[in-house]
Every structure is written in C-alpha cells, then in structure tokens.
Structure 1
Amino acid sequence: MTDLTTLPDEGTRPAAEATPAWLKEGAGQGIRSLRARRQADPNYGGRLVEAARLYQRACHGDRRALIDFEEAMTTSDFGLLFADILDKQLLGAYQDWPSTWQMYTRRGTVRDFRPVKRFALDGAASTLDEVPERGEYPEAALIASEYEYRVTKRGRRLDWTWEMRVNDDLDAFRELPIILGRAAKMTEDKFVTGLYASASGPNSTFFSAGHGNVVTGNPALSVEALEVAMTVLASQRDSDGNPIFIDNLVLVVPPALEVVANNILNAVQIDAATGGGDGTGHNQLRVNNWLARRVSVVVNPWLPIVSATANGNTSWYLIAQTMAGRPAMEVGFLRGYEQPQVFVKAPDSLRVGGGMAAVEDGDFETDAIRHKVRHVLGGVLMDYKMAVASNGTGTP
C-alpha cells in the first residue's frame, strides 16, 4: 500500500519529514477549494502535518490512533484537514501511475469548454534567394494549418456505506484516492491512444497513402521494417520541399511486441546485409546499434484494447518526439484544472445534540458516503508528417 506521506506534489518524503511547507504546496485543488485561506494561515501547515501523522498511524493499525481519528472527524476543522490529505493522496497516485504519452504528444492548456483552434505555420523556410544590388527582396508565402478540439469533462462517483467504513478500519479511505487517481491517469492514456489508433489498427484518416506515412507493405516489426519506417518518415517534406529534421523518435508498440522492440534497440551490434553484403552471411557489415541513440520504446497496453477488432497486437507506430517543433498530436487540459480533483458530498443531517454530522457518518436516509472524481481533457491529431505506422500484417 502506498504511504500517505510519500505523495507530495514533487518528489517524495518519509513521514518523519512531512513538513508544513511540503503539505502546503499547491498543485491541484482541495476538496473544499479553500487554498487561498489555508496558504495565508501560518498555523494550517502544522495542523495538516499533525492530522496526516494521526491518519497514518490509524491506517497502520494503531487502535488508539483510530479512536482519536474517529473522534477528531466530528470537528469541522479536522474535516477540512482530512479533505486536503485525501486530495494529496489522489494527486500522488495520479502522478505515480506510469504513463508515457507525454513523450510523443504535446501537452497544452485551454481556457474553457469552447472549441479551441491550433495553428501551425509552414513555408518560408527554404534556402534564401540571392538579392542583386538594389534588387527587391522576394516574398515568401506562409501556409497555415488549422486544427480544432475542445475539452470535455470525465468523472466517476463512488458510493460506500458507513458500515463499510467501520468494518474496514479506514482501508476504504486509504484505497479511494489511489483508485480514483489511477483511473484519471488511465483515462488520459486511453484517450491519447484513441487519437492515433482505431478499432482495426492505425487511424486510416491520419495514416494513409495520401499522407505518405504508412510503412511500405505494412511489415511486421523488425530491423528492416524499422529501417523502412525511418526512410518513409525522412522522405516527408515541408510546403517548400525542404527536409524536416527529426532528432529523436518514439517506437510505440503493444505488449505483444515489447520483446521484439527491445531486442532490436538493445542489441549490441547489428549484422547488416545492405551496404555491401550479399544477404547470405558473406561480406556483411557489422555495426554498433546506433538505433538505440535515436529511438525510444514505449509499450502501450491500450493498443490491443483500442484496436480490439483487428491488428491490436501487431500494429506499431514511429512518432517524432514533441521537441521536434511539429507535434503529431496535442492533448489539452482546462486551465486551473490540469489534474484530477476529488469531491465528497456534504452531510445532510444534524446530530440531536447539535452540530452537523461528520461526512463519514453518511447521509440521513441511508448512511451512504459519496465521493466523485473530475478530470477535464481533450485533444486532436495534428501534423501527419511527424508519424508513420504499420498494421504489421504484411498486406499493403
């Protein structure tokens, strides 16, 4: 189980080093959106650390700490502290869950839910013309490509009961943020995969003969096929007919091709029949594996799920890394809400002796306790010249 106090916004710290400065760091938003007041309160950080340590001891089976924790939950101040603790756990689980789409997808932010436009300029990058004395400088045309997308809300609600909380001795509390954080990260992964992959393999609108970004013959992944893919990608030209320089590439494969991909890129040497050999083992070139310096492997477990109809285990993609300046795709997040948020339904009952009931007592009718997570994102495919794909079937 993940330790609560190893889930700060940046880096990790053991429980003994959980300082007010760390717990007051402000990525994401608290359940009750009171961050400004908390930041201004010099005592809030110390109380938050104290609450975190009490919660940690209760989760580890300290019965006295559990009793103190349940008694503390009847106070409104501790409820606010505990809300921030859950928020930190959610954010930590979200950040710790492995994800690699950022290696080949540009990350952006948008202001609201309305469609947002992205523009890419091409042209005017060809070699400069010679200008004679007193001659007029020639004018070049810029070609603008326009892309549009909008972000949408994603979320889930979890209902559980007061009896479950009592029986589990806080295990449900401890698991809830982790489950929701992982769900948010997996939502991103599946969404990005669905941009460039379809039910039957590579997205045929983006990867097409017209775009010139399909590996010739759709070969299965091999050294020779990777060579063809790199040649196809290098043959792309900008609107002026100039070459497009790409330093680093990402090879995206399903789990079924993980061994093949890593064997290719981690081989110490490659015996090449081309460039002087005859293909029968005579006069072959033996070269150091320079591909490992140009290509990184990303194993995407969502590929066989998204491409469930056909070719999910054979399709592979070669995509330029985002620093190339012409992204193949972009994923955008709503400004101020770039990370998932967790919410808890406020109690709707009063104690007979006075005061609001604790959230953990559940609602008035059924003792149900309700949490939800919200995540906002969207995206679009952009420059087809920065990616090439093969469905791996060997069929053109």
Structure 2
Amino acid sequence: MNLLQMLARQKAIVDAAKAEGNRALSVEEKREFDELQSKIDALRAQGDPNEPTPAPVDNSERALAAERQRALEITSLCRDFGLNAEEYIKDGHSIDQVRQFILEKQIKDRAPQPSGIQMGKDERDKFRDAAADGLALRVGMNVEKPNDGAGELRNLSLRELAKESLIIEGVNNAYRLSDDELLRQHLTPTSLFTNIIDQTARNVFQQAYTDAATTYQHWTRRGTLTDFRPTKTYQVGTAGELLLVSENGELKHDDPNGVEGPTRQLLTYGRQFSMSRQAFINDDVSFIETIPALYAQSARLGINRLVYQTLAKNPAIWDGKTLFHADHKNVMATGGAPSVDTLSQARQLLRKQTAAGGDVKLNIPARFMLVPTSLETKAGQLIGSTVDPSQANPNIPNPFYNQFTIVSDAELDDASVNGELEWYVTSDILRSPIQVDFLNGKDMPTIVMKQAPAGQLGFLWDIYMDYGVTVVDYQTVVKNNGK
C-alpha cells in the first residue's frame, strides 16, 4: 500500500465514523489508523522520491488528534472530581463546557440548605396535578398514587373544572361566564384548564401507544438517524484467508471486500384531531378517553403494517433484485406449511449464505418463524411438540422442539394474494432483515396542543412521528411460498 492509499484508508475510517452520528472511533479503528499513521510517518521521513505528494485528506489526521486530546483532557478532569467522562465525550462537549458543568455542580452541591424550610409547589401546580389525576380517574385510567384532592375534582364536569381553573388563575367572575365566553376568551393553550386537558390526553395517548397490539418490535432491528437525509450503508464483506508463511517469508497484503448496501431515510407521518365546542359543552369526557387512544394505536399499527408489507410485497432492493430472489438464495425449494422438512430447508439456506465478495459460509442461525394467523396453530403445534407431528411413529424426535420464537401477525394474511400460505424464517434481532429507524431514537409520537384557528371554538392536537422502514439484509431471512 503506497502513501496515497494509506491516506485514503485513513479518510475512509474517519468518514465512516462521521456518517454514523459523528461517533468516536472504535478500538479497532483507532489501532488501524495509528498503524497507518506510523507507516505514513516512516515514508515521509525517508523522503521517497517515487511517492507523489498527496493532497490534504480533509484534515483527517488533525481532526483525529484533536479528538484524542479532547477525550484525554475530559477524562483527566472528570477523574479528579469522581465523574463519569464517557457521557461528556460521547455527547461532543468541549473541555470548557465540561469545566462549566463541574463548576455548577460543585456550587449546587455545596449550597447551604435552609433549616426546616421546604420549598413546595404553589397552589396552581397543586391544583393542576390533582385535577389531571381526577380527570384521568374519571376517564377510567389507573392512577397509582393520585395527588391530594383528585378524588373530589374527579366529580366536576369539564365546564366546572374550567371555571375552577380560572378562579385559581384570578378570574373571579368565572362562574358567571357563558360557555362561549370560556372558549373564546379564556381557554387558551397556556391556560390552566387546557394544560389539564392536554396532560390527560398525553397520558392516554402514551399508554395506548405502548399497549398497541403490534408484533414488529419482537423481531426487527431498531435504529436511529439524526436527520432526514438519505443515509447509505455498507455490508461487511470478507477478508482473505491467512496464508502459510515460510521461514523468513513475506506476508502478502490483502484488502477486505465490501459492497454497498441499502439507503435508509426517515419520513414524517402525522394527523390532527380536535375536541369540539359541543364535546366541551356536553361534558363528553369519553372524547379524552377514546380519541387520543385511537390515534396512538393507529400510529403504532401504521409502523406494524408498513413493516409486514415491506416483507411480504417482496420489493426491489439496493442490488436491483427483489428481496426474495433465486440469486439471493433465500426462497425454499419446497413450498408447504411449516414442517420438519421445510424448516430443515430454511435452516440450511440461512447457514449456507456467504459473505459479500467471498465464499465464506456465514452460518446464520434461525431464530424466528413469522407466520400469518392462518398458520399460527400449525406452527405452534410443530414447535411445541417433542416428536415429529408428521410421522406415524411417535418415537421420532422433533429436532425443532422449542427452537423457534413464533411471531404471528394478521397483516401477513392479507399482505399478498397468497398471504395465508406464505411464511418466513429469520435470524436474531441484531441480524434482522428489516430495520425501523427513528429520528434521534425517539419511538414515541409527538403530540402537541395548538390554538384553534380563528372562527373555530375548541381544542386542537397535532400528532406526528418520524420513522423509516428499510430492508437492510436479504441473507438473514428465508421465505416459503406455501405452495
């Protein structure tokens, strides 16, 4: 490897770290970078006239040296104060910022505490928390430790709760205001009552999202992206075999293989819903109980549906071929329901997959069986039986007894024409064929209360979420067409 090639390799190492959220170099990457740097320094010291003068490589050397120095200084400083330096290094804080954090912490920790004086919540905060718990109890939510007063406030209608809130805020004639005056003049997004409504709606929303009946999260890989730009990924290839070296022999240089993989990208999905003037006047608390929950479930079920459609629709992927293709060696030759024979084929196909650019067998393990609901019972009987269910002789053991996790989802039944017959075998989550990415790792939708537009009385909420579903590997999944 000449000087230009070594510099190019250093640049590739640094660029890969930048592309993955500007992370720090791994131990292996640092070791390779330093070894290359030693060789570069040796060549430059020799002044080899045959080596061309390289162009600057995006300040890679200088950037890495600065990063090492930053990490060293932060580690030393945190050690002196008994702090964990990893968080500051990972988040990209400068040494000056870390010094400021430590100073503020020291001031806070050493500040004198007033004897016998407790700083508590003001009346507004107490009322808001109690009213939110009371409203949550009224709509049927489970509140483990309700705030004082929640039991009494749960009996108030929405209008009565709004007027009590206005009195706390200093509107003394609140009980003389008409419903329209309440909505038009006083119940703004920053008012106490709307905060109570919003907090309850958020709690209902978050609980419903968590409880949504989805299955994609059990077998797909979860990732994170920091923006909406397309992000290219690369599949790890193979390195050359280690060759026999004779006494005083020379090691032969080798460059590892690698191929370009999928492009991941985030998209934004959202909706808006409102609580009308009529719902407020009619004291329709069922709105708060049901509508946010419906949209929360819809948000997560949308991810679930997209994942299974991506799998079952057999889309074209980054190499121009469909996900399940003869060239990808991931379609079982014998179609049929799950059985010892068909699972044996699936397991063999996964194990015989080869690394990109080589013939080395990957020996990928089979972990999950993905089936439509039409095959859920048969799959359960097969995996739960100690003997082969298809054999008349009960003494033949079942080699797949309790060897698979069965994931059944109704989306597979209708995802394609033969959905009720098709099923899949995949590897573990870290080698899942599908990855679900979220913006900065946030997998919960954002719900925001807004001011209703002019001429509209009521309350508005925006719901939106940023995620992307991508096929990231075709070698870790096998399909049976069912016939």
1:330 deviation in Å?
A: 1.4
Q: Which residue of 2 aligns with 1:102?
A: 217
| Alignment match of 1:268 (pick from 386, 409, 418) | 386
Please give the per-residue CA displacement for 1:73-104, whole angstroms capped at 9, x wherever unaligned. 54513433442332232122111213222333
Name the structure with the higher strand share.
Answer: 1
Q: Does 1:53 align with 2:133?
A: yes
Q: Does 1:316 align with 2:420?
A: no
1:317 deviation in Å?
A: 0.8
Q: Does 1:346 align with 2:451?
A: yes
Q: Which residue of 2 aligns with 1:141?
A: 256
Choose between structure 1 and 2 for higher RCO, CA contacts under 8 A separated by at least 6 residues. 1
| Alignment match of 1:235 (pick from 341, 346, 352) | 352
Q: Does 1:299 align with 2:413?
A: no
1:337 deviation in Å?
A: 4.2
Aligned residues: 322
Q: Secondary structure at the match of 2:475?
A: helix
Q: Which residue of 2 aligns with 1:63?
A: 155
In percent, how many aligned pairs have the same letter? 23
User: In the alignment, residue 300 of structure 1 is paired with which amino acid?
Assistant: D
Gap change, CA 1:372 and 1:347, over 3 Å in 2 = closer
Please give the per-residue CA displacement for 1:19-57, whole angstroms capped at 9, x wherever unaligned. xxxxxxxxxxxxxxxxxxxxxx97498666423322134
Gap change, CA 1:48 and 1:318, over 3 Å in 2 = farther
Alignment of 1:196-215 (within 5 A): 196-198=311-313, 205-215=322-332
Please give the per-residue CA displacement for 1:259-312, whole angstroms capped at 9, x wherever unaligned. 111111111322676xxxxxxx57x8522x4424431100111112322xx101
Measured in 1, the distance between the counterparts of 2:300 and 2:241 equals: 44
Q: Which residue of 2 aligns with 1:34?
A: none
CA RMSD of aligned residues (A): 3.0
Q: Which residue of 1 aligns with 2:206?
A: 91
Are the equivalent residues in 1 in contact too, given 2:350–2:366 (CA < 8 A)? no
Name the structure with the higher helix share.
Answer: 2
Please give the per-residue CA displacement for 1:138-195, whole angstroms capped at 9, x wherever unaligned. 3242213321031111112224422134335311012122111101110110111122
Are the equivalent residues in 2 in contact too, given 1:55–1:65 (CA < 8 A)? no
Please give the per-residue CA displacement for 1:107-160, whole angstroms capped at 9, x wherever unaligned. 111111111122221112x65333333333332422133210311111122244
What is the TM-score of this pair, normalised by structure 2? 0.60
Q: Which residue of 1 aligns with 2:342?
A: 225
1:339 deviation in Å?
A: 1.5
Are the equivalent residues in 2 in contact too, given 1:271–1:286 (CA < 8 A)? no
Are the equivalent residues in 1 in contact too, given 2:158–2:280 (CA < 8 A)? no
Q: Which runs of 5+ in 1 are unaligned?
A: 1-40, 274-280, 349-363
1:342 deviation in Å?
A: 1.5
| Alignment match of 1:245 (pick from 351, 355, 363) | 363
What is the TM-score of this pair, normalised by structure 1? 0.72
Gap change, CA 1:219 and 1:271, over 3 Å in 2 = closer
1:242 deviation in Å?
A: 2.1
